[in-house]
Amino acid sequence: MFRAGELVEVRSREEILATLGPDGRMPGDRMPFMPEMLQFCGRRFRVANVAHKTCDTATLLMGRQMRDAVFLEDLRCDGSAHGGCQARCLLFWKTQWLKPVQPGLRPGPKVKCSERQLHDATRAVMPNGETRFYCQATEHWAASEPLRAMAMSHFIADVRSRNAKLKDVVRVVGLHLVWRLRFLKRGWRLSVWLYDRLHRLLTGRPDPFRGGVIPDGASTPESKLDLQPGEWVEVKSHDEILQTVTVGLQNHGMKYNAEMTPFCGQRFRVAQRVHQIIEEKSGRMITMKNPCITLDGVYCQAQYTPYSLLCSRRVTPYFREIWLRRAPTAERSQPEGAEAQGEVVTEGRVV
């Protein structure tokens, strides 16, 4: 089994295609090898994390556990074989597609799959004429098993695989156990106060589990900044963002979540304006009514997701422009709280 930090080599195209069936998957395994991954064949990368547990971003109901899979550095899908999807999901690599730099791992079973079949397996036309896409994100559920959220075994695996340090596991799990106290029948105010104090002590930030100020179903504000890739922005403070979302944390159909709070007040470059992504539950390509923003180096750290704490999938969060402000180059090194420039706030309708 590989561990985080180890140097591995992606097998050649011929070796990997020899492990796959005509559907682009290994026999008995539902995780597809995708055409976007061919460009990495024959190259060496370091294992970023062992993908023994991941989050379920399709149903948001539970964590999932997976066998014989890792993530390599920050290798992400570019969507070129999936209709230009902009989700930039982190790629799963089955260990059979890799080999240690020093030989020792044998190729998988000799099942032939051509590159043409690999591309054909990415989509299918439904009877109604709609195209359905198949990728690692849509097949994630079938390729994994349910995860017991608080089973100590997978936290031990985090440490043994070098996915996380022991002190980080203790901090994240400890905070989560205190957070769960608020669901007891008594002492809600005390438990919320205790969690906030402990969270401030350990992270320097207030309770991330707070609702917005706008009533659910009411209109939410919108900001038109027309941000472009490469521009520097500052993520607004958590309190500022809560002024723009409903009690249920929605802004124009997009939800703000606790995993985004560690980035509040920090500055990043805009990675892309996202207009379309593949919906993981259905495989349909969906076009966003209101384009959203992704930021370079900003990924979910799974510190607060109760069903998959310390998941290493590093999902990319989407930001509304109203949650950001421009940070001109000359002000990048200035203290936090730079004034927003060029914002035009209008009223919008929740969709």
Please check whether residues 248 and 329 belong to one and the same domain: yes
What span, in angstroms and rounded, lies between the C-alpha atoms of 172 and 257? 17
Domain CATH number, residue 323: 2.30.30
What span, in angstroms and rounded, lies between the C-alpha atoms of 62 and 282? 18
Q: With the C-alpha atoms ordered 313, 319, 323, 327, is the resulting torsion angle positive or negative?
A: positive
Please check whether residues 178 and 65 belong to one and the same domain: no
What is the arithmetic mean of pLDDT over 276-295? 93
Residue 56 has pLDDT above 50, yes or no: yes
Structure tokens at 4: 């985080």
Please check whether residues 121 and 235 belong to one and the same domain: no
What is the arithmetic mean of pLDDT over 208-216? 96
What is the arithmetic mean of pLDDT over 22-41? 95
What is the arithmetic mean of pLDDT over 281-309? 94
Residue 262 has pLDDT above 60, yes or no: yes
What is the arithmetic mean of pLDDT over 141-147? 91
φ, ψ (nearest 5 deg) of residue 172: -65, -45
Q: Which of 37-46, 62-71, 103-112, 182-191 has the lowest mean pLDDT?
A: 103-112
Please check whether residues 123 and 181 belong to one and the same domain: no
Look at residue 322 and tell me if it is in a domain: yes
pTM to 2 decimal places: 0.85
Q: State which residues form the domain around 329.
A: 221-308+317-347
Please check whether residues 51 and 127 belong to one and the same domain: yes
Give the pLDDT of residue 101: 86
Look at residue 215 and tell me if it is in a domain: no
Residue 283 has pLDDT above 80, yes or no: yes
Give which of 286, 253, 270 is closest to 82, Cα–Cα. 286
Look at residue 156 and tell me if it is in a domain: no
What band does 348 get if pLDDT is binned at 50, 70 and 90? very low
Please check whether residues 228 and 195 belong to one and the same domain: no
What band does 59 get if pLDDT is binned at 50, 70 and 90? confident
- Predicted confidence (pLDDT) per residue in 173-185, tens digit: 999 999 999 999 8
Please check whether residues 16 and 92 belong to one and the same domain: yes
What span, in angstroms and rounded, lies between the C-alpha atoms of 80 and 123? 13
Please check whether residues 230 and 325 belong to one and the same domain: yes
Look at residue 325 and tell me if it is in a domain: yes
Give the pLDDT of residue 58: 79
Look at residue 58 and tell me if it is in a domain: yes
Q: Please give the tally of structural domains in the chain.
A: 3
Look at residue 230 and tell me if it is in a domain: yes
What is the arithmetic mean of pLDDT over 296-320? 95
Please check whether residues 11 and 142 belong to one and the same domain: yes
For the chain, helix, strand, coil in percent to 5 are: 25, 25, 55
- Say what percent of the chain tops pLDDT 70: 90
Q: Which of 36-40, 79-83, 258-262, 332-336 has the lowest mean pLDDT?
A: 332-336
Judged on CB neighbours under 10 Å (0-12, 13-18, 19+), 34 is: buried
Judged on CB neighbours under 10 Å (0-12, 13-18, 19+), 54 is: buried
Please check whether residues 138 and 169 belong to one and the same domain: no
Helix or strand run (H / E) with residue 198? helix 188-203
**Chain center to CA of 28:** 26
Contact between 72 and 91 (Cβ < 8 Å): yes
Round the average pLDDT of the chain to a whole number and report it.
90
Look at residue 321 and tell me if it is in a domain: yes
Give the pLDDT of residue 338: 36
Please check whether residues 14 and 136 belong to one and the same domain: yes
Look at residue 208 and tell me if it is in a domain: no
- Predicted confidence (pLDDT) per residue in 111-142, tens digit: 689 999 999 999 999 999 999 999 999 999 89
Please check whether residues 198 and 233 belong to one and the same domain: no
Residue 54 has pLDDT above 50, yes or no: yes
Residue 334 has pLDDT above 50, yes or no: no
Judged on CB neighbours under 10 Å (0-12, 13-18, 19+), 248 is: middle
Structure tokens at 75: 């290798």
Give the pLDDT of residue 337: 39
What is the arithmetic mean of pLDDT over 96-105? 79
What is the residue whose two structure tokens read 């750290």? 301
